[in-house]
């Protein structure tokens, strides 16, 4: 009887390629859905919204989010997976609280950004998508925004990868830019699936643009361009503050932090093999 | 529900109903579905929780819709009343009711599902579905973590007040207090997560081979058949809608 | 696991050095161990000595490369006719072997100090939690049921299989954690502080469990900071200090020698109790005499309290409690678990408010005064220091809010308080990177620096090593010496007897002197 090996096998090429394919398909589904929605947006919504748009928005974005999750999750180290529920609870609790205040902000991505900074863009994207899916158990209206949430996680991780979290003042800038992209991508969901936004504050802003004669999609997109960049700048700043407060031994658990020197602003850069 | 249904059955049913409702895109269908979900909630004894949850979500949403479209709907032609830039139009109100009912159906059906499902059973059923085990873990852990985190936040607050932290009245003071409480909370949770990860690894969480489940989930031929039927019906509804929209010149 | 004895396996480890990523100093240096079948080995050391790091390395919870830089070797030797495992040799380079934690755990099971950390926390019952590791291995369900029943029998959990793990007591939780490790039937078992914060019942059941495992031929390694009856029964001791091995050999030889003295290991009498007086300064006799006419520092006057009072069927937790503590007096509150000792402390500073009766500090009632204000006169130290610390460095932690009370004097007071608890040199360290004992000492320093009139301590001795106990006792004496009243809640009767002027017992909602 031969003994089982005590060491990990080197990961197979084929499995890695399959995962990669799922990630690409997921991203493609999200991109294609967005393009379709913008190109075919109904010119006149008076006769009711095109329910095809709603179906495509729901189906395409959700499919993309699920493909991303299935592709990314098995590649993540357990330390990241175990941190995800914590991030999700932060997202959900803060998001739910913020939604009830009437302010035109969301604050529902702090956990996502936290993971993205510690574990990278792929982990961030999976966290964002999972966050929407799990949150929908208590608030189903967030489910269709899974793709937008994934994008925020991806962009936050990319910002961390290129050192935007090394300096405290760069984090809100990265957040602002992320907010612009995320807002534009999420607007069609709000418009076609829900015909508006859920919050009182955001609703008021949309009404103002509608009063000036904008189409619904245009009005919601403009509202998103007002709310989202500010919101994400705040979220990135809070996440940066939280990460800076973590002890070094904790942040250095994450290979992404070590490899890309993500938090050099906090401590003198130190070479690490 | 006396004989417990497989969570996949209820999940499929909920998803199919939602797809059909969206495809139908009619206020009557939405209203019927919403009322049906509320009725089912009453039968299963979850009415209080479902209606309360739905109310919290839907009340601001309806308000926002009615203000947004009731008062400002540039596409509206039948003007009922107007004050300056604000005009109440029949089309705007109709649109708001349409969208509001559709979302109400959406929220009620999904809440009915999530309040009636037992999470461990759902996780076990999903594991059999070849989803990554990490997915089930994150789902179950998040839903079980919320009360633990709430208890922990309370402990942090008590400990800090005992150290002389006085939460002042102003907004700035509140914000400073939130920062002081968030830091130990997040630090503690991140630390715990690091240790738990090592435990899970040792217990084989990252094994790649096949897995089994200890929890037995009830299932039957009838339920399997029902799931296939529901999926087919949903697909048919989408097909009909797409065909109608194509023949109608891309506009439904 | 198949009911018979596990194959005999010997664990040999030689750790030249191990340093966490980002740390400049190695956490371990030059530690060797051999754990042979059926033998009990104890690794002893004070808080921060590196015991847990060592245990985690042995159990495959920390991996060289992934968690830090490891130099040394880990080896399993099987006694049977199986072909041997190749030793894992680490040189701190990129091409070091990558340990498979799951495969390793089938041979070497590690149970952490905090048993809750062992649990997946996503399973609703004890039996599902036990099965978690088996599910991941793809064990057939029938086999799984058999193994779970067998593991439950070995750990004495058979009657608790349907319980929610979150509702278990400390001893039950510890046995569940052991159960989670032994479903894989490891030949080597590593237990980190298996008796920490257990009452006498819990201690007995866990000790029996260890004895039974030894009888089956399992090699057991216990990591501990006290020379208690369990570690005294070991064949071999290993003493760690500052991450390095300072002594090794038979327990009786080491107990007779001097090596243990500086290590911070708590040496108790074989009975398991602290010696009545020896390690602590005798002070119980020098009782403070209240000045006539003065008010007690802390006064409870007919206080009643209960949770969930709407439910009238529930009895009150505290009923008509009276307590006077005078300046300079040390009072210990003892009592069984769940008697409401911690609740009593929370009434002192208004975290909880009495249903009837009044709490007075220095003669003034605290009703209506926010806890944060009461805290200027009454310092309360909680059981879990983690929750109390929120700054980025040890010094900032103690300085927090101090300048408002003492102005320019604040830094001096902070320095003094840190020096008093032995953290004078640790000012720039992150509080969460201190050892368990160190974190408690820091939390104590934050309270001491404010020089409160009343000091209330919740189970202050738990998790403290010998150094920590000595400093705690000095700090209490000093506080009483400058005229503060000290109230401590503890299950450690010997410590209470050695330090308090007066013991009171809380039982069935009533306080009684003893």
C317: its two tokens: 């937790």
C61, C105, C121, C166: best mutation site toward chain B, by most B Cβ within 10 Å?
C121
Q: Which residue is listed with tokens 């991030």? A: A87
Task: Please list every residue in chain B whose beta carbon sits closer than 8 Å to the beta carbon of residue A133.
Answer: 139
Exposed (0-12), middle (13-18) or buried (19+): which is A10, by Cβ within 10 Å?
Answer: exposed
Yes or no, beta carbons of C100 and A7 under 8 Å apart:
yes
Q: Hey, is the C-beta of C263 within 8 angstroms of any chain A C-beta?
A: no
The set of residues, in sequence order, having a beta carbon less than 8 Å from that of C110 and lying 6+ positions away, is B202, C55, C56, C58, C59, C60, C61, C181, C190, C192
A103 occurs within a structural domain: yes
Yes or no, beta carbons of A8 and C104 under 8 Å apart:
no
Measured between alpha carbons, how far is A172 from B60 in angstroms, rounded to an integer? 30
Could you give the angle at which helices A121-135 and A110-119 cross, rounded to 10 degrees?
150
Which CATH number is C298-513 given?
3.40.50.300
> Min CA distance, A207 vs chain B (Å)?
5
> Min CA distance, C452 vs chain B (Å)?
11
Cite the DSSP H helix spans in C163-308.
170-182, 200-215, 229-232, 251-256, 259-263
C9, C18, C22: best mutation site toward chain A, by most A Cβ within 10 Å?
C22
User: What is the interface size between A and B, counted as CB pairs within 8 Å?
Assistant: 202
Measured between alpha carbons, how far is C123 from C157 in angstroms, rounded to an integer? 16
Phi, psi (rounded to 5 degrees) for B165: -80, 120
Dump pLDDT digits (tens) for A129-174.
Answer: 999 999 988 888 888 888 899 999 999 999 999 999 998 899 999 9
Task: Please list every residue in chain B whose beta carbon sits closer than 8 Å to the beta carbon of residue A70.
Answer: 131-132, 135
| Residue A204, CA distances (Å) to A48, A201, A207, B85, C373 in order | 22, 5, 5, 14, 42
Question: Number of folded domains in chain A?
Answer: 1
Q: Hey, is the C-beta of C199 within 8 angstroms of any chain A C-beta?
A: no
Query: What pLDDT band is residue C270 in, cutting at 50, 70 and 90?
Result: low
Q: Hey, is the C-beta of C441 within 8 angstroms of any chain A C-beta?
A: no
Q: Hey, is the C-beta of C99 within 8 angstroms of any chain A C-beta?
A: yes
Least confident of A141-150, C302-311, C390-399: C302-311
Q: Is the dihedral of CA C130, C132, C137, C142 positive or negative?
A: positive
CB-CB: which of A79, A140, A198 is closest to B60?
Answer: A198
- Tens-level pLDDT at each residue, chain B (252 residues): 445 788 999 999 999 998 999 888 888 999 999 999 999 999 988 888 889 888 888 888 888 888 888 888 877 777 888 877 778 888 888 888 888 898 899 899 999 998 888 888 888 888 877 788 899 999 999 988 877 888 888 888 888 888 877 777 777 777 777 777 888 888 888 888 888 999 999 999 988 888 888 888 888 899 999 999 999 999 999 899 888 877 764 443
CB-CB: which of C141, C148, C432 is closest to B212?
Answer: C141
Whether C47 has a pLDDT exceeding 80, the answer reads yes
Measured between alpha carbons, how far is C55 from C225 in angstroms, rounded to an integer? 13
| Number of residues written out for chain C | 514
What kind and span of H or E run contains C223? strand C219-224
Dump pLDDT digits (tens) for A21-70.
Answer: 888 999 999 889 888 887 876 655 544 455 788 888 888 888 999 999 99
DSSP C399-423: HTTHHHHHGGGHHHHHHHHHHHTT-
What kind and span of H or E run contains A39? helix A13-39
> Min CA distance, B223 vs chain A (Å)?
23
A265 occurs within a structural domain: no
Yes or no, beta carbons of C105 and B137 under 8 Å apart:
no
CB atoms within 10 A of CB B38: 18
A53, A92, A137, A249: best mutation site toward chain B, by most B Cβ within 10 Å?
A137
The CATH number that applies at residue A122 is: 1.10.1760.20
Domain span at residue A51 reads 23-38+47-260
In this structure, which CATH number among 3.30.70.260, 3.40.50.620, 1.10.620.20, 3.40.50.300 belongs to the domain C9-267? 3.40.50.300
A7 occurs within a structural domain: no
Yes or no, beta carbons of A253 and C84 under 8 Å apart:
no
Give the residue range(s) of CATH 3.40.50.300 domains in chain C.
9-267, 298-513
Q: Reading across the β-sheet that carries C9-20, which strands appear in turn?
A: C88-91, C68-78, C9-20, C28-35, C244-249, C236-241, C40-45, C219-224, C188-192, C108-111
ipTM value, please give it: 0.86
> Min CA distance, C81 vs chain A (Å)?
9
């Amino acid at each position: 009887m031969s003994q089982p090996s005590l060491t990990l096998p080197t990961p197979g090429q084929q499995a890695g390629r399959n995962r990669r394919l799922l990630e690409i398909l997921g991203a493609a589904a999200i991109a294609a859905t967005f393009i379709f929605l913008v190109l075919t947006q109904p010119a006149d919504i008076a006769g009711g919204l095109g329910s095809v748009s709603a179906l495509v928005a729901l189906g395409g974005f959700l499919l993309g989010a699920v493909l991303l999750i299935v592709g990314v999750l098995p590649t993540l180290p357990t330390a990241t997976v175990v941190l995800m529920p914590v991030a999700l609870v932060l997202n959900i609790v803060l998001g739910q609280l913020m939604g009830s205040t009437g302010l035109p902000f969301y604050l529902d991505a702090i956990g996502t950004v936290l993971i993205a900074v510690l574990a990278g863009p792929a982990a961030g994207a999976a966290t964002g998508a999972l966050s929407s899916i799990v949150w929908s158990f208590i608030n189903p209206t967030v489910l269709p925004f899974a793709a937008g949430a994934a994008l925020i996680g991806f962009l936050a991780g990319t910002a961390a990868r290129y050192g935007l979290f090394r300096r405290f003042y760069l984090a809100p800038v990265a957040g602002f830019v992320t907010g612009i992209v995320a807002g534009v991508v999420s607007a069609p969901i709000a418009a076609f699936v829900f015909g508006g936004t859920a919050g009182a504050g955001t609703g008021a802003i949309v009404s103002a643009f509608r009063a000036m004669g904008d189409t619904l999609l245009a009005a919601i997109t403009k509202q998103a361009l007002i709310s989202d960049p500010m919101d994400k700048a705040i979220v990135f700043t809070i996440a940066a503050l939280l990460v800076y407060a973590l002890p070094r031994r904790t942040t250095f658990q994450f290979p992404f932090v070590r490899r890309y020197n993500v938090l050099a602003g906090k401590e003198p850069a130190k070479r690490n093999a | 529900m006396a004989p417990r249904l497989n969570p996949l059955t209820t999940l499929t049913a909920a998803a199919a109903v939602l797809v059909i409702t969206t495809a139908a895109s009619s206020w009557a269908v939405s209203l019927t579905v919403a009322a049906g979900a509320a009725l089912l909630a009453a039968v299963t004894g979850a009415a209080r929780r479902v209606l309360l949850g739905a109310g919290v979500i839907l009340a601001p949403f309806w308000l926002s819709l009615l203000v947004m479209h009731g008062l400002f709907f540039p596409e509206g032609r039948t003007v009922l009343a107007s004050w300056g830039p604000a005009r109440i139009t029949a089309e705007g109100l109709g649109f708001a009711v349409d969208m509001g009912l559709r979302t109400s159906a959406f929220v009620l059906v999904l809440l009915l599902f999530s309040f009636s499902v037992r999470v461990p059973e759902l996780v076990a059923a999903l594991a059999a579905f070849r989803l990554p085990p990490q997915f089930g873990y994150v789902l179950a852990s998040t839903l079980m973590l919320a009360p633990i985190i709430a208890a922990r936040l309370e402990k942090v607050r008590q400990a800090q007040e005992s150290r002389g932290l006085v939460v002042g009245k102003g907004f700035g003071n509140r914000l400073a207090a939130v920062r002081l409480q968030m830091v130990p909370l997040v630090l503690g949770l991140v630390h715990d997560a690091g240790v738990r990860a090592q435990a899970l690894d040792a217990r084989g969480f990252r094994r790649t081979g096949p897995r089994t489940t200890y929890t037995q989930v009830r299932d039957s031929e009838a339920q399997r058949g029902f799931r296939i039927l529901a999926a087919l019906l949903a697909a048919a509804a989408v097909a009909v809608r797409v065909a109608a929209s194509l023949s109608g010149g891309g506009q439904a | 696991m198949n009911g018979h004895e596990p194959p005999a396996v010997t664990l040999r480890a030689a750790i030249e050095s191990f340093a966490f990523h980002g740390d400049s100093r190695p956490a371990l240096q030059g530690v060797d161990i051999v754990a042979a079948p059926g033998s009990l080995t104890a690794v002893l050391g004070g808080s921060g000595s590196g015991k847990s790091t060592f245990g985690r390395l042995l159990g495959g919870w920390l991996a060289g490369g992934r968690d830090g830089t490891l130099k040394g070797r880990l080896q399993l030797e099987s006694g049977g006719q199986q072909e041997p495992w190749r030793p894992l040799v680490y040189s701190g380079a990129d091409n070091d072997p990558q340990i498979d934690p799951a495969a390793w755990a089938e041979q070497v099971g590690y149970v952490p100090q905090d048993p809750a950390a062992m649990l997946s926390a996503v399973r609703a019952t004890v039996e599902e939690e036990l099965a978690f590791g088996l599910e991941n291995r793809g064990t057939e369900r029938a086999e799984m049921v058999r193994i779970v029943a067998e593991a439950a029998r070995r750990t004495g959990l058979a009657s608790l299989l349907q319980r929610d793990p979150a509702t278990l007591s400390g001893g039950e939780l510890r046995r569940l954690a052991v159960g989670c490790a032994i479903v894989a039937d490891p030949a080597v078992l590593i237990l980190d502080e298996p008796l920490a914060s257990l009452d006498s019942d819990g201690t007995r059941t866990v000790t029996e469990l260890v004895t039974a495992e030894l009888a089956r031929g399992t090699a057991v390694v216990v990591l501990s900071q006290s020379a208690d009856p369990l570690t005294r029964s070991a064949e071999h001791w290993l003493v760690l200090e500052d991450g390095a091995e300072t002594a090794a050999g038979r327990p009786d030889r080491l107990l007779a020698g001097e090596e243990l003295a500086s290590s911070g290991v708590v040496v108790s009498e074989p009975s398991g109790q602290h010696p009545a007086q020896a390690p602590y300064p005798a002070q119980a006799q020098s009782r403070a005499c209240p000045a006539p006419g003065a008010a007690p520092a802390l006064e409870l006057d007919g206080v009643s309290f209960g949770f969930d009072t709407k439910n009238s069927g529930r009895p009150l937790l505290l009923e008509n409690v009276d307590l006077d503590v005078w300046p300079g007096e040390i009072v210990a509150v003892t009592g069984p678990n769940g008697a409401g000792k911690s609740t009593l402390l929370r009434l002192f500073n208004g975290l909880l408010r009495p249903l009837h009766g009044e709490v007075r500090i220095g003669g003034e009632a605290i009703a209506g005064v926010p806890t944060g204000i009461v805290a200027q006169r009454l310092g309360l130290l909680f059981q879990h220091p983690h929750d109390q610390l929120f700054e980025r460095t040890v010094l900032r932690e103690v300085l927090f809010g101090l300048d408002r009370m003492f102005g320019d004097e604040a830094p001096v007071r902070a320095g003094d308080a840190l020096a008093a608890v032995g953290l004078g040199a640790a000012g720039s360290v992150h509080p969460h990177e201190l050892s368990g004992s160190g974190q408690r000492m820091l939390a104590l320093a934050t309270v001491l620096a404010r020089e409160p009139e009343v000091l209330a301590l919740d189970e202050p001795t738990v998790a403290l090593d010998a150094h920590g106990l000595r400093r705690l006792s000095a700090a209490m004496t000093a506080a009483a010496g400058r005229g503060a009243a000290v109230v401590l809640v503890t299950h450690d009767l010997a410590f209470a007897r050695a330090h308090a002027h007066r013991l009171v017992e809380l039982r069935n909602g009533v306080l009684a002197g003893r």
